[in-house]
């Protein structure tokens, strides 16, 4: 199995923060859930037997109002089916993916530093065995691939 990623490395976080903060951004999220969520022993959801997907749903419920408040919107969501170009996985590489829009990266930074968001993110951490989060500049729709 490849190296799993749940949180950004210091280098990647710095690269994100060094980019312009006043432009709209799209964030591609790829998610692979744990079979069983892994909460700290002192967390209110520890021992409930939640699946990773259920814990991620709790993350969405608890972080959603903050996401909306900063101007975030989901612009695309899908469930993984198969790899077409890329490594042949022994198992599903990703369970779900989505693209989140933010009016600017300052809004994303406001969200992730919000104290209520920081409490909610425990659900995300408990839910995932692996993830990717990639920033893109929104493109212009048009004809063809070029």
Q: Is the pTM above the cut of 0.85?
A: yes
Q: Where are the beta strands (DSSP E) in the chain?
A: 25-33, 73-79, 96-102, 128-136
Two structure tokens written together for 111 = 């969200």
List CB contacts of 23: < 8 A, sequence separation 6 or more: 104, 105, 137
Tell me the C-alpha to C-alpha distance, in Å, between residue 68 and each of 14, 16, 112. 25, 21, 13
Could you give the 3-state DSSP secondary structure of residue 115? Answer: helix
Per-residue pLDDT averaged across 12-30, rounded?
95
If you search the block for the tokens 């070029």, which residue do you land on?
146
Q: Quick one: pLDDT at residue 146?
A: 60
pLDDT of residue 84: 84
User: Mean pLDDT, to the nearest integer, of 61-89?
Assistant: 91
Residue 145's pLDDT is: 65
Confidence at residue 83, expressed as pLDDT on a 0 to 100 scale: 83
**Residue 136: per-residue pLDDT:** 95
- Per CATH, the number for 23-136 is 3.30.70.100
What's the mean pLDDT in 16-40? 96
pLDDT digit string, tens, across residues 2-19: 678 999 999 999 999 999
Q: Give the chain's mean pLDDT.
A: 92
How much of the chain exceeds pLDDT 90, in percent?
81
């Amino acid at each position: 199995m490849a190296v799993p990623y749940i949180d950004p490395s210091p280098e990647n976080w710095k690269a994100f923060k060094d980019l312009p903060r006043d432009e709209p951004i799209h964030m591609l999220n790829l998610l692979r859930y744990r079979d069983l969520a892994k909460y700290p022993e002192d967390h209110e959801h520890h021992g409930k037997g939640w699946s990773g997907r259920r814990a991620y749903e709790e993350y969405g419920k608890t972080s959603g109002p903050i996401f909306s408040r900063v101007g975030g919107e989901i612009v695309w969501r899908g469930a993984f089916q198969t790899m077409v170009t890329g490594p042949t996985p022994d198992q599903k590489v990703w369970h779900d993916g989505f693209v989140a829009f933010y009016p600017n990266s300052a809004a994303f930074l406001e969200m992730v530093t919000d104290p209520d968001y920081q409490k909610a993110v425990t659900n995300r951490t408990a839910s995932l065995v692996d993830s990717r989060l990639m920033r893109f500049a929104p493109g212009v729709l048009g004809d063809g691939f070029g």
